[in-house]
Amino acid sequence: MHRQRGSTIAILTSVAAARERRPFYRQLYFWVVVAIIAGGLIGHFAPGTGVALKPLGDGFIKLVKMVIAPVIFLTIVTGIAGMRDVGSVGRVAGKAFAYFFTLSTLALILGLVVANVVQPGRGLNIDPATLVTGEVDIYVAKAADASITGFLSGIIPDTIAGAFAEGNLLQVLFFSISFGIALALVGERARPLMKVFESAGAGMFKLVEIFMKAAPIGAFGAFAFTIGKYGVGSIANLAALVATFYLTALVFVLVILGLVARLAGFSILTLIRFLREELLLVFGTSSSESALPSLMEKMERAGCPKPIVGLVVPTGYSFNLDGTNIYMTLAALFIAQATNTELTLGEQVMLLLVAMVSSKGAAGVTGAGFITLAATLSIVPSVPVAGMALILGVDRFMSECRALTNFVGNAVACVVVSRWEGGIDEECFAAVFTRREFGAPNLIAPVEADVD
């Protein structure tokens, strides 16, 4: 028999409408904006104070990261174990990776094309021998440790507890999928444990909701530190690169992802508005991980099935990094142009191919893009690694754009794969993307698809 969902949708939309009528000063996104502005002002006019506020941002990110592993585990296990067709897990994963590969390649190509057309580094005439590379060497050393072989072997945890203790998303994902499949094969005997996991999942998402109340504090501290440490003036020297990167990322989101979204039956601008609080948090903290639990919850609320959300979103944080990919090819060619290093078409293609591999596994946290760039340039000898010192001062400002682009890309991927699987709850989807009801609180659970 089919599950009746009309009353649930009515509750969802009525509560959403009520929340939309709340004054703007009671909305979380408003206070995040205020916090970012206040943090920027303090960082600019009192740099020492801004740097000292760093623990506020770090503390908030640690709060969120503390619950990421349990949220992923509970979401995936309850989702997969509740599926009748266990074989669909492999099918969903295959579609997700096909999507990741296609969009990541387009992002790399876009960065390469824009760098050749705009040429933001042309005319700087920098001699690599004159660059001080002390800090760059640290990133190069980290990149050397992050080999592809080590990355692949690191997916399997030494112990189950170790995966959760270290917060390794891919290891948690690997165990969660395996355990979810095992419970699905056990069948009815696993139902008592499933009920415990479902209750624990509800409690965990409520904890995320509580932690998100501190988002303005975290954004305030993180942004004050960024401006206080690096200063807005540091952008001026490399304004062409920063502006080119932001505009390229904007084109990718609005045009490429916008077209993908349109083909999937929704507007990219509507999705951005739906995720506005999370996007502001990502911008303020410069970390897409800070909004990972909230993104998973909202994707379920929008009608995406729990198993697909659990598979696509966490996996995308390592394999679907569109912003990082744009940055890698654009930054690499900027360094080549600034140091008057001429690259042939073949060398640029080689750079793109290496970047396709080295970008996989980069975590969605601050600094990961710089490490993967170091890994790429270490393999491609044509571009001097020392040239990374040129962009070290503004990398933090580009990190925010990388994180935002990665975040939107993973949200789009979740909807697209759900569409391919035909598993979207159309009533919930319409409530979010057609009727523009964005404000349903976390306590409204996403409605599951009909079950015969």
pLDDT score at 449: 38
pLDDT tens column, 114-138: 988 988 877 777 776 665 555 555 5
Q: Say whether pLDDT at 372 is over 80.
A: no
Q: Say whether pLDDT at 10 is over 50.
A: no
How far apart CA 168 and CA 147 sit, in angstroms, is 16
Q: How many independent structural domains does the chain possess?
A: 1
- Residue 385: which pLDDT band, with cuts at 50, 70 and 90? confident
Residue 279, number of CB atoms within 10 A of its CB: 22
Q: Say whether pLDDT at 229 is over 90.
A: no
- Residue 248: which pLDDT band, with cuts at 50, 70 and 90? very high
CATH of the domain at 164: 1.10.3860.10
How far apart CA 313 and CA 307 sit, in angstroms, is 10
Contact 313, 93 (CB under 8 A): no
Q: Give CA separation, 292 vs 68, 84, 362, 366, 435, in Å.
A: 7, 27, 15, 14, 25
Task: List the structure tokens of 33.
Answer: 């904006």
How far apart CA 364 and CA 317 sit, in angstroms, is 6
Average pLDDT over residues 372-398: 73
Contact 413, 100 (CB under 8 A): yes
pLDDT score at 138: 52
pLDDT score at 253: 95
pLDDT tens column, 298-319: 888 888 888 888 888 888 887 8
pLDDT score at 257: 95
What is the SS3 assignment for 356-383? HHHCCCCCCCCCHHHHHHHHHHHHCCCC
Task: List the structure tokens of 443.
Answer: 């306590």
Residue 149, number of CB atoms within 10 A of its CB: 7
Q: Say whether pLDDT at 353 is over 90.
A: no
CA distance from start to end of the chain: 5
Q: Is 7 exposed, middle or buried (0-12, 13-18, 19+ CB in 10 A)?
A: exposed
Q: Whole-number mean pLDDT of the chain?
A: 77
pTM: 0.77
Does residue 448 lie within any of the structural domains?
Answer: no
Residue 266, number of CB atoms within 10 A of its CB: 22
- Residue 80: which pLDDT band, with cuts at 50, 70 and 90? confident
Q: Domain residues for 269?
A: 6-433
Does residue 442 lie within any of the structural domains?
Answer: no
pLDDT tens column, 416-444: 999 888 778 888 888 877 654 444 333 33
pLDDT score at 268: 93
What is the SS3 assignment for 143-188? HHHCCHHHHHHCCCCCCHHHHHHHCCHHHHHHHHHHHHHHHHHHHH
How far does CA 381 lie from the centroid of its chain?
30
- Residue 11: which pLDDT band, with cuts at 50, 70 and 90? very low
pLDDT score at 147: 52
pLDDT score at 371: 67
Query: Taking the alpha carbons of 111, 112, 116, 121 in that order, is the dihedral positive or negative?
Result: positive
Does residue 444 lie within any of the structural domains?
Answer: no
How far apart CA 394 and CA 121 sit, in angstroms, is 14
Does residue 449 lie within any of the structural domains?
Answer: no
Q: Which residue has the higher pLDDT, 184 or 98?
A: 98
Residue 386's nearest CA partner among 134, 112, 142 is 134
Does residue 438 lie within any of the structural domains?
Answer: no
pLDDT tens column, 261-275: 999 888 999 999 899
How far apart CA 372 and CA 354 sit, in angstroms, is 10
88-118 and 322-338 are packed helices; what angle lies between their axes, rounded to 10 degrees?
A: 30
How far apart CA 267 and CA 269 sit, in angstroms, is 5
Q: Which residue has the tokens 């099935």?
A: 305
Q: Say whether pLDDT at 450 is over 50.
A: no
Average pLDDT over residues 289-294: 82
Number of helices followed by number of strands (H, E) in the chain:
22, 0
Min mean pLDDT across 35-39, 67-71, 230-234, 423-427 is at 230-234
How far does CA 213 lie from the centroid of its chain?
20
pLDDT score at 212: 80
Does residue 439 lie within any of the structural domains?
Answer: no
pLDDT tens column, 152-191: 666 788 888 888 887 777 788 888 888 888 888 887 788 8
